[in-house]
Amino acid sequence: MKKSVSIGIIIAAVLAILGFILDSETFSIILYIAAYLIVGFDVIKNAIQNLFKGEIFDENFLMVVATIGALCIHEYPEAIAVMLLYRIGEMFQDAAVDKSRDAIKKLMEIRPDVATIKSENGLIVERPEKVNIGDIIVVKPGEKVPLDGIVLEGNSTLDTKTVTGESIPKNISKDETIYSGCINLTSVLEIKVTKDFKESTVSKILQLVEDATAKKAKTEKFITKFAKIYTPVVCLLAMLIALVPTIVFEQSFTQWIYRALTFLVISCPCALVISVPLGFFAGLGGASRKGILIKGSNYLENLTKANSIVFDKTGTITKGTFEIQKIVPNNISEKELLKIVAHGEMYSNHPLAVSIKEKYDEGYDEKQVENIEEIAGKGVKAKIFGEDTLIGNAKLMGENNISFDEVNEIGTIIYVAVKNEYKGYILISDTIKDNVKKAINKMKKLNIKETYMFTGDDEKIANQIAKEVGIDICKAKLLPDQKLKKLESLIKKNKKVIFVGDGINDSPCLARADVGIAMGGVGADAAIEAADVVIMNDDLSKIGEAIEISRKTIKIVKQNIVFAIFIKLLILCLGVLGIADMWMAVFADVGVSMIAIINSMRALKS
């Protein structure tokens, strides 16, 4: 909440209370007018500005006419109370909208600051924007790759999480394509630039988020649509009520102006302008109690319409952490095989090495590891416990003429050879989150007709996981822009799509989807900022709960709208006939509002 608005509401409320309890009518009126101007200044200003823009009949104008009508017939507390409640509802609505689209600061951190160009005069450090296509750049270990290109020299390992979202580092070697935004982990690379900075992968991710956010249509408030018809009709009828009987039938002007002003008080739409946003925010509050952060009422509405859902894989379907799934020894015990591999990976911070060290719970003898040599993209060669040892992938085994049977299983296989004799392998893979299959089945029961998984991972691994958890369609080996194109193709088919992800690379899709849902516990800050809904504990079953809450909330909001309009129209007719006096007008306004507010509170118990 903005401080200025909050302070204004508090001051206006205090002045109104003082005006109500004072005995002096003159001072009370002064306090009431002051309170009204303080709390209603922005509404009055917006109404006047919109008059000059030709947007006459919006909710601001309606509120001004109705509350001034109440002031004219000396219903000062009524006018102030209506404006106070209206401003409070608007304040909370604006706060949610502002928060939902904060600047994606974390995303900017993937943008490289400099590029090192190899030239005749040595190495020159320049901004990436100044590097030309065809230039050769040098990227040292620990540095971000600044531009897309082809590797000319060097073999290394890349952290590709910002581009593909995958936690396993990727091996890169000569003549392979490399994308900006990745982090070089192990060896120096020389890269020939193939795209300028504006067209590079990292720039496209940033641009995609901006474009996708702009494409997302915001749900127009119901009351704004309603006011375009309701407001001019009410104002015209009030004018006719005041003038026609007195001019045409020469009846008492005082009597009919009183009826016209009563008509305006009855017509005040506070039951709608309060109960509708309050119903939404009660739903938002009910969701937040269950660890579901929904950033605005329009996303609640969109959740009720969703019929398709797209999942990222790593960090969303899977935990994004790697564990040893299998140890298969050959002429050696499992314990000895793990001990050898753990000593070979003793100094490595590679995610796979970390998973091995977590499994191995015995002590290390550093003296038993000598001449350790890391072979980029293949593995490790060392003397472990006095014997020449190879630990790595099939390429490493093949290059050293090790006789072994290549394993065809889902995950990363680490083979081991001691003194040129094959000793077995260890299987390491990402693990599927608990209750994922159950959560997806629940979504299908809630009329989510199609489930998809878009991932940058290997096709074989992705298909296996999709099949295991019950996802209908799987698309693998996708870069962020490819994910977005696939998502937009679904939207173009008139599907209402939820996208669920957790990484920086998911930000464009989270922003473009009808509803973007981020995994808040492990998700990147950029993904959380770009998303419309955040699941705070990473439990996918919360998505089904969010859909159920949204449906209950929308049902309550619709009940309030129908009830408020029906009662308003009924008492408006009675007001024109002179049957409804000011007390009935107050009931039509405050009474209906209170009933609608009490009904809205049910959404808190979603």
What distance in Å separates the CA atoms of residue 441 and residue 252, rounded to the nearest whole number?
A: 69
Segment 512-559, tens digit of pLDDT? 899 999 886 555 566 767 788 888 777 889 899 999 999 998 888 888
What distance in Å separates the CA atoms of residue 12 and residue 35, rounded to the nearest whole number?
A: 4
Which residue in 141, 171, 174, 142 sits closest to 157, CA to CA? 171
Sign of CA dihedral 84, 87, 88, 89: positive
Q: What is the mean pLDDT of the chain?
A: 81
Share of the chain above pLDDT 90, in %: 24
The answer, yes or no, to whether residue 206 has pLDDT greater than 70, is: no
List CB contacts of 210: < 8 A, sequence separation 6 or more: none
Place of tokens 């993209």: 377
- Please tell me the predicted confidence (pLDDT) of residue 332: 93
- Please tell me the predicted confidence (pLDDT) of residue 58: 63
Active-site residue, from 58, 135, 159, 312:
312
List CB contacts of 116: < 8 A, sequence separation 6 or more: 123, 124, 125, 126, 137, 138, 139, 140, 143
Segment 66-105, tens digit of pLDDT? 678 778 778 788 778 778 877 776 675 555 445 434 434 4
What distance in Å separates the CA atoms of residue 461 and residue 410, rounded to the nearest whole number?
A: 6
- Please tell me the predicted confidence (pLDDT) of residue 153: 92
Mean pLDDT comparison of 47-56, 155-164, 330-339, highest-scoring range = 330-339
Does the annotation count 312 as an active-site position? yes
Segment 483-504, tens digit of pLDDT? 999 999 999 888 899 999 887 7
What distance in Å separates the CA atoms of residue 573 and residue 589, rounded to the nearest whole number?
A: 14
Give the phi and the psi of residue 397 in degrees, each rounded to 5.
Answer: -65, -45
Q: Compare 354 and 230 and report the one with higher pLDDT.
A: 354
Residues in a beta bridge with 119 = 122
Domains, the chain: 3-100+217-283+549-605 (no CATH), 110-205 (2.70.150.10), 292-317+433-536 (3.40.50.1000), 320-431 (3.40.1110.10)
Least-confidence region, from 28-32, 61-65, 242-246, 580-584: 580-584
H-helix or E-strand spanning residue 418? strand 412-418
SS3 assignment, position 330: coil
H-helix or E-strand spanning residue 559? helix 541-576
Q: Are 122 and 134 in contact (CB under 8 A)?
A: no
Which residue in 353, 355, 363 sits closest to 322, CA to CA? 355
Which residue in 338, 419, 334 sits closest to 383, CA to CA? 419
Which residue in 319, 606, 347, 344 sits closest to 435, CA to CA? 319
**How far is C-alpha 16 from the chain's CA centre?**
40
What distance in Å separates the CA atoms of residue 20 and residue 12, rounded to the nearest whole number?
A: 12
Mean of pLDDT values over 579-601: 71
The answer, yes or no, to whether residue 213 has pLDDT greater than 50, is: no
Give the phi and the psi of residue 510 in degrees, each rounded to 5.
Answer: -60, -40
Q: How far apart are the first and last CA of the chain?
A: 25
